[in-house]
């Protein structure tokens, strides 16, 4: 590198590569190359140009870009990932074309052909920490944009990475609709896995054990899936850091969500402001529970929501939405639309699978799997209660040497078991 043609400057560096590129090429080389060139032409190059960046170079499965400001780099990354997520909608997980992106702000050395220095090296290491469809940024980027861009950041702490002396503090940017395996894709992979003879035997043994321990033969898989519509109970959101503005926003958002969910024809919604665990769910009238919390700090609000299976208490889906309260009504409407769409899609997919009309071997196997899964939650709860019940029985039996024992708390139980 000639000294006459090099300079040093501060820049925001974005490094990106295709997640699982080797696997994609091995599975279908022609399709992967076609997807790569389409992404470059329709997403990458236009977005970088639009946000004032410069493509330094393309690698075999990625690219290196510099921007004059941290905000430009982050906006561009979010723009590209949002477009890529839209292009991936409906695609099976094994052929999705996702990018991992890392962004750092630091001093770089620039010549006619390339850029160098720790500023570039750190961006490359951050890229390796990002998941498929994700964006990972350094603390220098975070400090520059945290109060300028309306984005959610997840603090991932510090991590020691290769060839960087100081552990990196890094943050994930919460890109909505980030690459997540769909229920359909998961079931397809599960079906392929179960086809293997050894795995089929393992699954069969586990399910048999489940039925033997906690059988409930009063209901069959056919009866379980006979419901025409699922029932969803809405639990009032918890308000963290109560303020007058936050309380008003919370009440308004809850009313929006209830009204929007009630208007759907795909499932029954129960508006329940009481403790549902002691009423509706015990009568098996509710299939899913929708709950969440709202936290406000100054002009920022964080909304956490989750969909829970009422019987097993498994968390089926969760979402996090960070917003600035510059326009309360628009924020309520925008968040409501996103949440209702996501919850509705999750319930529809789950109910479609549970109520599948496939009565062949795979259909019956799927029914058994769902019934077995529903038992797992019961097993976990019963396992917690089992030591207590056993000790109570021993204490009450006049023929045992432990009849005088009085178990008063969980610490005594743990000590006795040990």
Q: Are residues 91 and 19 in the same domain?
A: yes
Structural domain includes residue 40? yes
Token pair 């039925």 is found at 211
Residue range 98-124: mean pLDDT, rounded: 92
Q: How many of the other CB atoms lie within 10 Å of CB of 150?
A: 11
Q: What percent of the chain has pLDDT over 90?
A: 27
Q: Are residues 22 and 164 in the same domain?
A: yes
Residue range 48-77: mean pLDDT, rounded: 94
Full DSSP string of 313-374: --EEEEEEEEEETTSHHHHHHHHHHHHHHHHHHHHHHHHHHHT----SHHHHHHHHHHHHHH
**Any idea which of 243-252, 363-372, 375-384 has the lowest mean pLDDT?**
375-384
Dump pLDDT digits (tens) for 158-178: 888 888 888 889 999 987 554
Instruction: Give me the pLDDT at residue 208, please.
Output: 66
Instruction: Give me the pLDDT at residue 283, please.
Output: 45
CATH code of the domain in which 89 resides: 3.30.70.1230
Q: Are residues 313 and 406 in the same domain?
A: no
Q: Are residues 128 and 232 in the same domain?
A: no
Domain boundary among 173, 194, 217: 173
Structural domain includes residue 271? yes
Q: Is 362 a residue whose pLDDT tops 70?
A: no
Tell me how many domains the chain contains: 3
Instruction: Give me the pLDDT at residue 4, please.
Output: 53
Q: Are residues 30 and 147 in the same domain?
A: yes
Q: Are residues 81 and 157 in the same domain?
A: yes
Structural domain includes residue 26? yes
Structural domain includes residue 33? yes
CATH code of the domain in which 326 resides: 3.40.50.10070
Length of the chain measured in residues = 418
Give the domain range for residue 332.
226-354
Q: Are residues 256 and 340 in the same domain?
A: yes
pLDDT bracket for residue 415 (50, 70, 90): very low
Structural domain includes residue 99? yes
**Any idea which of 28-42, 44-58, 172-186, 331-345 has the lowest mean pLDDT?**
172-186
Domain boundary among 173, 192, 213: 173
Residue 266 — φ and ψ, nearest 5°? Answer: -85, -20
Residue 221 contacts residue 371 (beta carbons within 8 Å): yes
What mean pLDDT is reported for the chain? 75
Instruction: Give me the pLDDT at residue 370, please.
Output: 55
Q: Which of 12-16, 161-165, 338-342, 348-352 has the highest mean pLDDT?
A: 12-16
Domain boundary among 173, 191, 213: 173
Residue 326 contacts residue 299 (beta carbons within 8 Å): yes
Q: Is 196 a residue whose pLDDT tops 90?
A: no
**Any idea which of 126-130, 289-293, 309-313 has the lowest mean pLDDT?**
309-313
Instruction: Give me the pLDDT at residue 347, please.
Output: 83
Structural domain includes residue 367? no
Structural domain includes residue 194? no
Q: Are residues 292 and 253 in the same domain?
A: yes
Q: Are residues 137 and 44 in the same domain?
A: yes
Q: Are residues 126 and 25 in the same domain?
A: yes
Full DSSP string of 379-409: HHHHHHHHHHHHHHHHHH-TTSTTTT----S
| Nearest-angstrom CA–CA distance, 129 and 64 | 16
pLDDT bracket for residue 55 (50, 70, 90): very high
Q: Are residues 250 and 157 in the same domain?
A: no
Q: Are residues 53 and 154 in the same domain?
A: yes
Residue range 149-163: mean pLDDT, rounded: 87
Structural domain includes residue 213? no
């Amino acid at each position: 590198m000639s000294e006459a043609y090099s300079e040093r400057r501060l820049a925001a560096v974005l490094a990106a590569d295709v997640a699982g590129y080797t696997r994609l090429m091995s599975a279908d080389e022609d399709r992967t190359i076609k997807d790569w060139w389409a992404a470059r032409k329709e997403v990458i190059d236009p977005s970088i140009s639009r946000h004032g960046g410069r493509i330094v170079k393309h690698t075999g499965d990625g690219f290196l870009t510099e921007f004059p400001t941290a905000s430009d780099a982050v906006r561009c990354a979010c723009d590209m990932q949002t477009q890529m997520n839209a292009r991936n909608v409906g695609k099976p997980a094994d052929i999705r074309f996702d990018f991992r992106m890392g962004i750092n702000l630091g001093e770089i050395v620039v010549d006619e052909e390339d850029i160098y220095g720790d500023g570039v090296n750190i961006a490359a290491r951050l890229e390796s920490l990002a998941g498929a469809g994700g964006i990972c940024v350094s603390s220098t980027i975070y400090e520059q944009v945290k109060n300028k861009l309306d984005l959610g950041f997840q603090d991932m702490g510090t991590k020691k990475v290769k060839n960087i002396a100081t552990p990196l503090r890094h943050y994930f940017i919460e890109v909505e609709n980030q690459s997540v395996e769909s229920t359909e894709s998961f079931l397809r992979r599960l079906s392929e896995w179960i086809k293997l003879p050894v795995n089929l035997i393992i699954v069969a043994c586990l399910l048999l054990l489940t039925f033997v321990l906690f059988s409930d033969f009063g209901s069959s898989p056919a009866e379980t899936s006979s419901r025409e519509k699922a029932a969803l109970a809405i639990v009032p959101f918890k308000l963290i850091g109560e303020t007058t503005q936050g309380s008003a926003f919370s009440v308004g958002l809850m009313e929006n969500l209830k009204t929007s969910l009630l208007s759907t024809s795909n499932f029954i919604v129960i508006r329940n402001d009481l403790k549902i665990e002691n009423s509706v769910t015990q009568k098996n009238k509710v299939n899913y529970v929708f709950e969440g919390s709202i936290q406000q700090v100054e002009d920022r609000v964080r909304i956490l929501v989750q969909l829970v299976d009422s019987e097993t208490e498994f968390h089926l889906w969760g979402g996090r939405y960070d917003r600035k309260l510059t326009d309360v009504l628009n924020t309520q409407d925008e968040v409501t639309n996103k949440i209702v769409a996501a919850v509705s899609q999750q319930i529809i997919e789950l109910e479609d699978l549970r109520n599948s009309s496939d009565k062949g071997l795979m259909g019956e196997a799927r029914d058994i799997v769902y019934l077995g899964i529903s038992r797992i939650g019961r097993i976990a709860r019963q396992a917690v209660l089992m030591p207590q019940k056993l000790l109570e029985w021993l204490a009450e039996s006049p023929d045992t040497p432990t009849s005088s024992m009085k178990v008063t708390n969980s610490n005594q139980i743990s000590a006795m078991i040990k």
